[in-house]
Amino acid sequence: MKAKTKKNPYAVSWKKDWQKNKTVYLIFLPVFLYFLIFHYLPMFGLVMAFQDFSLAKGVFRSPFNGLDNFIELFSGEAFPNALKNTLIMAAFSLTIGFAAPIVFALLITSVKNKKLRRTCQTISYLPNFVAAVVVTSLVKMFLTYDGPLTALLTSLGFEQQNWLANDKPPVFWVINCLMGVWQSFGYGSILFVASIMNINGDLHEAAAIDGATRWQRIWKITIPSIMPMIVMMFVLQIGLIFKTGSDKILLLYMPQTYSVADCLYTYTYRLGFGSSPDFGLAAASGLFQSVAGTVLLLLSNKLSRKWSDASLY
């Protein structure tokens, strides 16, 4: 006689699950359709990266040319410069830009007055909801030849100029970094503030009784307690280094600053929508950024799990 197999008590048929969670599935349906239509279906266009794409022939009739687009991309004169600028601006973002929300979270959680703390937090969140077009317009207004920040820098001994037209490193890189910090440090601190507020207060009280200073308590208790959150956010940030802030760069840069401002995202945009568009080359550039970002994400997660015992997954 065949042995009776035990039924998994947690196994539920789709029919029963649908009857039980029908409302949840219906709520999730618009989200599923959004990602399917705007994120997954357009991925079919990646085939253009391996074609001598012609708009008249379309995806199905354009001839395949293997890796010719990638060879042309990597051997082009503008690509190495765009890659260099991308990596440099990513380094600014992963250091100054990433540290700013953590520092702000440490400072804001040390404020004892709840009303003052919440007011400061609310004010710091506001720039995140300002559109990139508005942010870049403000930057242009403040840093133009007669702008207020330009006047301040001139009074401090710097040359009066349109700072956004300055093609000397690291002027544009610093402007881009500080602009990103101003817009995102408050909103980016939300998770860190929540993690700090969830730390057991008894640890700080015991350390204070033992004579630990505020800095020692931050270094020995607060930072180790939020380290898993820091690692998770850092790993995610590495996966987005090719794209973060690129919309504002596209609105700020100009031909005279291409040497320091052109990044892979803006370079790809010009390939696809410039005066002589090459959709195959633009698709190859976009595919390179996606693959490189994924590899960096996996590598950074593996290294963080090996060195700090904390990882994204």
For residue 198, give Cα distances in angstroms to 111, 185, 192, 216, 219: 16, 20, 10, 19, 16
Matching residue, tokens 């929300």: 101
Note the pLDDT tens digit of each residue in 88-100: 999 999 999 999 9
51 in helix, strand or coil? strand
Amino acid at 30: P
Question: Phi-psi category of 153—alpha, beta or left, where left has phi over 0 and alpha has psi -120 to 50?
Answer: alpha
Which tokens sit at 164? 């956004």
Q: How far is CA 251 from CA 92, 244, 295, in A?
A: 19, 14, 28
pLDDT recorded at residue 7: 56
Specify the pLDDT at position 4.
54
**Residue 120 confidence (pLDDT):** 92
Q: What's the rounded Cα separation, in Å, for the pair 222 and 38?
A: 40
CB atoms within 10 A of CB 207: 16
In angstroms, the Cα distances linking 208 to 114, 202, 212, 215 are 21, 10, 5, 11
CA–CA separation, 230 vs 199, rounded Å?
A: 15
Task: Provide φ and ψ at 311, rounded to 5°.
Answer: -155, 170
pLDDT for 241 equals 83
Instruction: Give the single-character DSSP code of 7.
Output: P
Tokens 């802030």, located at residue = 245
List the structure tokens of 269: 């945009």
What is residue 312's predicted lDDT score, i.e. its pLDDT? Answer: 67
Question: Both tokens of residue 20?
Answer: 């039980």
Residues of the chain with pLDDT under 50: 1, 10
Residues whose CB is less than 8 angstroms from the CB of residue 166 and which lie 6 or more positions away in sequence, other chains included: 172, 257
